[in-house]
Amino acid sequence: MDRREIVLAALAAGGENAGFSPIQVQKALFLMDREAAELVDGPHFEFVPYDYGPFDRSVYEVLDDLSRGGLVEKRNSGRYREYALTREGYESGLAKLDGLPDKVGSFLRRLVEWVRELTFQQLVTAIYRRYPDMKANSIFRQ
């Protein structure tokens, strides 16, 4: 899988019409790269410690590219933008997700569900607990 495909599959794992905050997208892709890279021909990104943990600017470049292609829409949901798949994006992402081995697809679905269930604070705290190296440049106070 390439970067575009892994992003589409990750967003599709949230279900149809699921919206993702920037931190949810960043952390889900970080965890895929750290926990299951070899299962999806990764790692796909180069995450570095940043203000709120692992960050890679190219995640937003991929999302922007998918948006220009009509596969992702950016919504404003108050303070932060939100990313969601369009109908075409969801179908494409679901095809990628369903094309993964069952073990990998199940892992990605559980991972995305977990990321989406947590609050901002809970998610950042959980990442720092498991990956303390990603706390190096943090401005987040627990």
Domains of the chain with CATH codes: 3-132 (1.10.10.10)
Q: Is 12 in a helix, a strand, or coil?
A: helix
Give the C-alpha separation, 9 to 69, whole Å: 16
Which tokens sit at 118? 């947590």
Give the C-alpha separation, 80 to 25, whole Å: 13
Model confidence pLDDT, tens digit, residues 115-127:
999 999 999 999 9
Give the C-alpha separation, 77 to 93, whole Å: 23
Model confidence pLDDT, tens digit, residues 62-116:
999 999 999 999 988 777 789 999 999 999 999 999 999 999 999 999 999 999 9
**First CA to last CA across the chain, in angstroms?**
36
Give pTM, 2 decimals: 0.94
Phi, psi for residue 83 in degrees, rounded to 5: -110, 140
